[in-house]
């Protein structure tokens, strides 16, 4: 239990973000109305996804250095868990877009970029399944992963910032520091992000540990 | 606790004065029913957290056996 304090911390932060996210006062804005509270739930999904993909790249690089199959397994499980959070982000985003922008999928650079990034990571998972030999699979997918990560960052973070996007913080669109009561939003938003990242990493480690057991089981029998 | 809630309600009513033209869910909140939603979501989340912890514990047991 002493080593799992961060799991408890993640849960506590999420509980706080649920309570605070519903009850704390938010800026009163037209069109958004109460849906501004989605900020506490939709955006942390993407933070959790990017963190998991980052962990995956770190372990892919580690695998290329060490050649240990455990590093490769952690990299895959990170992407597996990251993809789940990606889909949560896409679904919650398109529901939110439907009521505020009037279209579940407006042609926004951030949306299209994230769609391409999603396909890139799905391709990573498909690529892995296509190769039978363990060492070869680990090496090729590690190299693919190292290239995919920077492209993902460019697609969902940098390119939308350079062009006009409906998302705040892009083009001429200001981020939430321009809003009234922005500190009130931060008070819930940052703990929510940290809570989701910690919980996502926790779920990833659960999957990794199951994968390790499966791997050991397969190599023995 | 009572002073905190009354202060909170006062704060919300002040907020409402500022927001004549923008419709927020203040009515819902002043009638107190948003708390039911918060409670339900919190209970669901706590349940899921306990579920995750129990998976973690079972996994630890299997790891020890192996």
In this complex, do B66 and A213 lie within 8 Å of one another by their Cβ atoms?
yes
Pair (B22, B38) in one structural domain: no
The pTM of the full predicted model, rounded to 2 decimals, is: 0.85
Question: Which residues are within 8 A (CB) of A75 and not within 5 positions of it... i.e. 6 or more apart?
Answer: A55, A56, A57, A59, A60, A63, A141, A142, A145
Task: Enumerate chain B positions whose Cβ falls within 8 A of a Cβ in A.
Answer: 11-12, 15, 18-19, 21-25, 29, 34-35, 37-38, 41-42, 45-46, 49, 52-53, 55-56, 59, 62-63, 66
Pair (B38, B50) in one structural domain: yes
In this complex, do B45 and A18 lie within 8 Å of one another by their Cβ atoms?
yes
- Asked if residue A151 belongs to a domain, the reply is yes
Q: Phi first, then psi: what are they for A108, rounded to 5°?
A: -110, 135
Pair (B23, B8) in one structural domain: yes
Tens-place pLDDT, residues A90-126: 999 999 999 899 999 998 889 999 999 999 999 999 9
In this complex, do B24 and A28 lie within 8 Å of one another by their Cβ atoms?
yes
In this model, does residue A6 exceed pLDDT 60? yes
In this complex, do B66 and A28 lie within 8 Å of one another by their Cβ atoms?
no
Is the ipTM beyond the 0.85 threshold?
Answer: no
Tens-place pLDDT, residues A51-80: 999 999 999 999 999 999 999 999 999 999
In this complex, do B11 and A25 lie within 8 Å of one another by their Cβ atoms?
yes
Pair (B53, B43) in one structural domain: yes
- Across the interface, which of B23, B35, B62 has its CB nearest the CB of A33? B23
Pair (B23, B43) in one structural domain: no
Pair (B22, B42) in one structural domain: no
Minimum CA–CA partner of B43 in chain A: A15
- Across the interface, which of B24, B42, B55 has its CB nearest the CB of A34? B24
Distance between CA atoms of residues A63 and A160, nearest Å: 32
Residue range(s) defining the domain that contains residue A154: 40-220
Question: Which residues are within 8 A (CB) of B24 and not within 5 positions of it... i.e. 6 or more apart?
Answer: A28, A33, A34, B16
- Across the interface, which of A18, A206, A210 has its CB nearest the CB of B41? A18
Q: Which residue has the tokens 């905190």?
A: B4
Number of domains in chain A: 1
- Of residues B55, B66, B64, the one with CA closest to residue A216: B66
- Chain B nearest CA to A19, separation (Å): 6
Pair (B22, B43) in one structural domain: no
Residue A161 to residues A113, A169, A173, B49: CA-CA distances in angstroms? 11, 7, 9, 36
In this complex, do A23 and B15 lie within 8 Å of one another by their Cβ atoms?
no
Where on the phi/psi map is residue A67: left (φ > 0), alpha (ψ -120 to 50), or beta?
Answer: left
Pair (B24, B43) in one structural domain: no
Q: B interface mutation test: which of A17, A209, A214, A217 has the most B CBs within 10 A?
A: A209
Q: CB of A78 within 8 A of CB of A55?
A: yes
Number of domains in chain B: 2
Residue range(s) defining the domain that contains residue B20: 1-32
Q: Is the dihedral of CA B49, B54, B59, B64 positive or negative?
A: positive
Pair (B2, B23) in one structural domain: yes
Pair (B27, B41) in one structural domain: no
Pair (B41, B64) in one structural domain: yes
Q: Which of the residue ranges A121-135, A164-178, B14-28 has the most confident prediction, judged by mean pLDDT?
A: A121-135
- Across the interface, which of A29, A34, A206 has its CB nearest the CB of B55? A206
- Asked if residue A76 belongs to a domain, the reply is yes
- Rg of the Cα atoms in chain B: 21
Pair (B47, B27) in one structural domain: no
Q: What is the mean pLDDT of chain A?
A: 91
In this complex, do A210 and B34 lie within 8 Å of one another by their Cβ atoms?
no
* Tens of pLDDT, residue by residue, chain B (66 residues): 555 556 555 555 555 545 556 767 666 566 667 888 888 899 999 999 999 999 999 999 999 987
Count chain A–chain B contacts defined by CB atoms under 8 A. 58
- Across the interface, which of B12, B38, B49 has its CB nearest the CB of A11? B49
């Amino acid at each position: 239990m002493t080593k799992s304090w961060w799991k408890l911390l993640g849960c506590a932060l999420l509980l706080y973000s649920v309570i605070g996210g519903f009850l704390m006062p938010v800026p009163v804005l037209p069109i958004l109305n109460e849906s501004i509270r989605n900020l506490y739930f939709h955006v942390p999904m993407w933070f959790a996804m990017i963190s998991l993909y980052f962990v995956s790249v770190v372990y892919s690089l580690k695998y290329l250095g060490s050649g240990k199959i455990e590093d490769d397994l952690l990299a895959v499980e990170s992407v597996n868990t990251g993809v789940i959070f990606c889909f949560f982000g896409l679904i919650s985003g398109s529901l939110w877009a439907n009521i505020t922008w009037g279209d579940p999928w407006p042609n926004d650079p951030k949306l299209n970029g994230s769609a391409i990034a999603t396909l890139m990571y799905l391709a990573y998972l498909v690529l892995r399944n296509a190769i039978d030999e363990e060492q070869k699979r680990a090496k090729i997918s590690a190299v693919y992963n190292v290239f995919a990560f920077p492209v993902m960052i460019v697609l969902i973070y940098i390119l939308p910032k350079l062009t006009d996007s409906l998302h705040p913080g892009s083009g001429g669109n200001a981020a939430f520091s321009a809003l009234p009561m922005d500190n009130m939003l931060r008070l819930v938003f940052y703990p929510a992000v940290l809570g989701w990242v910690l919980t996502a990493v926790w779920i990833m480690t659960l999957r990794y540990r199951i994968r390790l057991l499966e791997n050991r089981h397969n190599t023995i029998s | 606790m009572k002073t905190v809630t009354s202060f909170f309600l006062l704060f919300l009513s002040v907020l409402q004065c500022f927001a004549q033209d923008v419709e927020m869910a203040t009515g819902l909140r002043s009638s107190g029913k948003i708390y039911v939603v918060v409670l339900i979501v919190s209970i669901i989340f706590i349940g899921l957290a306990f579920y995750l912890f129990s998976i973690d514990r079972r996994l630890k047991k299997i790891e020890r056996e192996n």
